[in-house]
Amino acid sequence: MSTITHGFDWPDRFVVGTVGLPGDRTFYLQARDRDRTVSVSLEKQQSAALAEGVSELLAKLRQLEGNPVSVPDETPDLLVDDDPLDLPLDEEFRVGVLTLGWDPGTSQVVIEAAPAPEVEVEDLDDLRDIGSLSDIEPEQLLVVRIPVGAARAFVDRTFAVVRAGRPECPICHEPMDDPETHVCDLSDR
């Protein structure tokens, strides 16, 4: 089977955004260049984990001795993107697997997203040996390569989008529909 790869090298836009009201939002990862837009859906937790991973990668790059890349502390003003997702919003697939990397040759953060692989129970042990998404040959693959300034903008926007939902319980860390009436499963432990 051949993988359909949606590749974006230096895209015009790469963002996480949502559709719907807090508590009933659908999260999307969206990349655009010129006249092409690709959107994939993912979970709120996946969005937050991806932003955290990119943030940690940028922090490591800042500390790397001899690193020729100037990693910004804050999003450069020209890269701030508070606009809604581009329409029409056509989901290519639902993300099951995300990978994050760094290409020192181009000084770009590399993000890959693919649907969850369909595997038989007896093949689960083989999944531990996967080095990259190309090893599992997904039906579709989103590959986005962005410079560090765009990566910082992606992190800041994604964290803002995630925080814009329902408040999180400080004890169980689950979203609360109403903080006044929330019953925490961990409060009686």
- CATH of residue 46's domain is 3.30.2450
Is pLDDT of 121 > 80? no
Residue 9 maps to a domain: yes
**Using one digit for the tens of pLDDT, what is the confidence trace for 156-172?**
999 999 999 888 888 88
Amino acid at position 10, single letter? W
Q: Determine the structural domain holding residue 16 and report its residue range.
A: 4-119+136-163
Helix, strand, coil shares, percent, the chain, to 5: 30, 30, 40
Two tokens, residue 26: 């659908």
Two tokens, residue 165: 């939902």
Model confidence at 133, pLDDT cuts 50, 70, 90, reads low
Of the listed ranges 59-63, 64-68, 175-179, 184-188, the least confidently predicted one is 184-188
Is pLDDT of 15 > 60? yes
Residue 172 maps to a domain: no
Q: How far apart are CA 71 and CA 59, in angstroms?
A: 8
How high is the pLDDT of residue 91? Answer: 97
How high is the pLDDT of residue 64? Answer: 82
Query: What's the structural domain count of the chain?
Result: 1
